[in-house]
Amino acid sequence: MRAVVYTESGDSSVLDLVERDAVEPGPDEVRVRIIRAGVNPTDWKFRAGGMGALAFPEIVPGQDGSGVIDAVGPEVADLAVGDRVWTMLAQHTRPGGTAQEQVVLPVGNVTRLPDAASYDVGASLGVPAVTAHRALTTSEGGPDRLGPGALSGRTVLVAGGAGAVGNAAIQLARWAGAMVISTVSGDEKAVLAKAAGAQRTVNYREDDPVAAIRELAPDGVDSVVEVAPAQNLHLDLQVIRPRATISIYANNGGDEVTLSVRETFSTNARFQWVLLYTVGASALRAAAEDITAALVDGAFGVGEEHGLPVHHYQLEEAAQAHAAVEEGAVGKVLLDVAEL
C-alpha cells in the first residue's frame, strides 16, 4: 500500500510517498481503507517539530479520515467489514495516521459514517468538529451533550467563523438551537460564516466589534468559541454575560495572554482550554455520537454551500496539501487517497 511518511522534522519537503505492507488489526482494532484524509494545522505543526521531538522513528501524518473497514481484529463486536466510517485522533499515540491507503485503529477512534454523508464530510470531522463540540459543551448551566434544542435560548459568539473549527461550531450550535454571532475579517468570510448558519456577523476590522456584538446581544453572550485569545480576550470579556464561558482552542495571533484581574474576576467568567489529546475518552465518544446525529439530521456539511470550501489534493501531493494549510488556506484541505 502507499503511505506518506516523514522521519525528521522540517517543512513539507520532508514528506515522502513510500510503499508499505498492510498491517493486520489486533484485538479491539479495525483496519480502514482510507478514501479521504483530512489535513489539519496540527498535522504540519507535528511535522515541523512544533509539538516537540518526533514520537516515532517514522510517522504517517493525519488525524482525520473516512473510508471503509476492510478487516476487523479479535473481540470487535460493533463494527464489521464493509462499514463506512470516519476517524479521529488516528495519529495521536501511534505512528500511522490517515495519509495512507490502509490504517489500523482502535475501535474507539472509529465511528460509523451515515449513508447520507459523503466521504468528504467524514474526513472533515475529527479535529474540527470534535473540538467545536467540546467548546460548546463545557459552559455553566449549559448542556454537556448536543442535540436539537440543547442550546435554545443561548447566544454563542464564534471567533473566526470561516475557519474549520469555527465553521463546525456554527453548524453544531445552530443545530442545537443557539443564536450564533461570528466575527470575521471581511465580506468574503462573512458570506462563509452565514452559509454555515451564523445569523449575524461582525467585521472586526471595520466595525466597533464590542458595540456591534452588544447591540445584537444586549445581555451578553453565553459562550465564546475562541481561536485567537491573545488578540481577542479583551473583546470577549466586554461582550460576555456574567458566568459565561470562553473556550480557547488555538493560539492564533500569539502565545501570551495578559489578564486584568479586576476586569476578569468581575465577570465570573470560566476559561475552558480545549485540546483533544487530553479531553478523555468519554468526551470524545460523546462528541462522536452527537456529531453523527447531526449528520443524520442533515445539519452538518462541507463545501461552499455550508461555508467551508473544499480543496482536493492527491495522496502524492501531500506536501502541497500541508503547505496549503500552513499558508492559511480558507476551507478544508483533503487528500484523495482512493477512488470512490
| pLDDT higher than 80, residue 72 | yes
pLDDT at 220 over 90: yes
Q: Which of 157, 132, 154, 130 is nearest to 142 (CA)?
A: 154
pLDDT in tens, 129-162: 999 999 999 999 999 999 999 999 999 999 999 9
38: CATH: 3.90.180.10
The structural domain count of the chain equals 2
- The answer to whether 38 and 332 have CB atoms below 8 angstroms apart is yes
pLDDT at position 271 over 80: yes
In a domain, 292, yes or no: no
| Model confidence at 54: pLDDT above 90 | no
**What pLDDT is recorded for position 262?**
85
pLDDT at 339: 82
pLDDT digits (tens, 9 = 90+) for 303-333: 999 999 999 999 999 999 999 999 999 999 9
Task: Summarize the confidence of residues 281-301 as an average pLDDT.
Answer: 97
Q: Is residue 293 part of a domain?
A: no
Q: pLDDT tens, 21-51?
A: 999 999 999 999 999 999 999 999 999 987 7
Convert the pLDDT of each residue in 96-138 to its tens digit.
Answer: 999 999 999 999 999 999 999 999 999 999 999 999 999 999 9
Q: Which of 276, 297, 320 is the last residue of a domain?
A: 276
- Ramachandran angles phi, psi of 195, nearest 5°: -65, -35
CA distance 165 to 55: 26
Between 259 and 41, the more confident residue is: 41
* pLDDT at residue 289 in the model: 98
Task: Please name which of 227, 212, 105, 118 lies closest in space to residue 164, comparing C-alpha atoms.
Answer: 227
Q: 12 pLDDT band (50/70/90 cuts)?
A: very high
In a domain, 303, yes or no: no
Mean pLDDT value across residues 239-258 = 93
User: 276, 296, 328: which is the final residue of a domain?
Assistant: 276
Is the domain of 162 the same as that of 111? no
Give residue-wise pLDDT tens across range 173-190. Answer: 999 999 999 999 999 999
**Which of 309-326 are b and which e, b meaning 16 or more Cβ less than 10 Å from the residue's Cβ?**
bbeebebebbbebbbbbb
User: What is the predicted pLDDT for the residue at 53?
Assistant: 82
Q: What is the pLDDT of residue 207?
A: 76
Q: How far is Cα 61 from Cα 63, in angstroms, rounded to an integer? A: 7
CA distance linking residue 94 with residue 9, whole number of Å:
17
Same domain (yes/no): 185, 314: no
Residues 251 and 269 in one domain: yes
pTM greater than the 0.75 cutoff: yes
Establish if 289 belongs to a structural domain. no
DSSP for 198-240 reads -SEEEETTTS-HHHHHHHH-TT-EEEEEES-HHHHHHHHHHHE
23 DSSP 8-state letter: P
pLDDT of residue 82 exceeding 90, the answer is yes
In a domain, 72, yes or no: yes
Side-chain-side CA neighbours of residue 58 (13 Å): 8
